[in-house]
Amino acid sequence: MSKARVGVAELGNPILRVQAEKVVSFAGSGAETSRLLYIVEQMREVMQDRDGVGIAAPQIGISQQILIIASRPNERYPEAPFIEPVVMINPIINSKSSQTEKGWEGCLSVPGIRGYVSRAVQVNVSFVDMDGAPQCWGLEGFPARIFLHEYDHLIGLTFLDRIDSVADLISENELAKR
């Protein structure tokens, strides 16, 4: 079985450092709709292939405001809770809790490294779904962490920009030994 592999943009790739463009076309214009579906399908494939629990379009080389949250337990994140995967387009943070929590994060674009990152425990977000319908969601705990991590990719940041200290970085191999 061979499968075409979509490349993942890794640290140093300029696409990870720029503000992603808003998605402007949804249902209605056929070509644009199928382009959006195609992008999301590729994102899903890469995410599943590499045991990610989330992904943002810039990570597959597309500078558009699209992210997926798909928390589920897997080899990379055995403690992750299961939630139905959700595609968020043009997401906005409406509010987030002042209460924060530190947790380990990895990133398909930062291979081999995990960071102990402080994030808001709760976040309220707006986004547009695949059908172009506006949505408002509250996220808490690990799904909130995933959202904030993926959202950062849309504004040119990675978790490395969020760590308090370089001492909060660890190699995946060392983390696995703990």
Give the span between the Cα atoms of 36 and 66, in whole angstroms: 9
Q: Kindly state the smallest distance separating residue 100's Cβ from Ni ion, in Å.
A: 19
Shortest Cβ 107–Ni ion spacing (Å): 3
Query: Please, what is the minimum distance in Å from the beta carbon of residue 153 to Ni ion?
Result: 6
Q: Judged by CB, which is closer to Ni ion: 107, or 144? A: 107
Give the closest residue to 66 by CA, choosing from 130, 18, 110. 130
Binding-residue total with Ni ion (CB under 5 A): 1
| 90-129 binders of Ni ion (CB under 5 A) | 107
Number of residues that this document lists for the chain: 178
124 token code pair: 């309220």
- Among candidate residues 32, 84, 105, 150, the one labeled active-site is 150
Asked about 150 being catalytic, the answer comes back as yes
Distance CA 45, CA 50 (A): 9
Comparison of 36 and 117: residue with beta carbon closer to Ni ion: 117
Site membership for Ni ion, residue 144 (CB under 5 A): no
Measured CA to CA in angstroms, residue 55 lies from 71, 90, 91, 129, 167 at distances of 11, 14, 13, 16, 25
The residue ranges that bind Ni ion (CB under 5 A) are 107
The residues annotated as belonging to the active site are 150
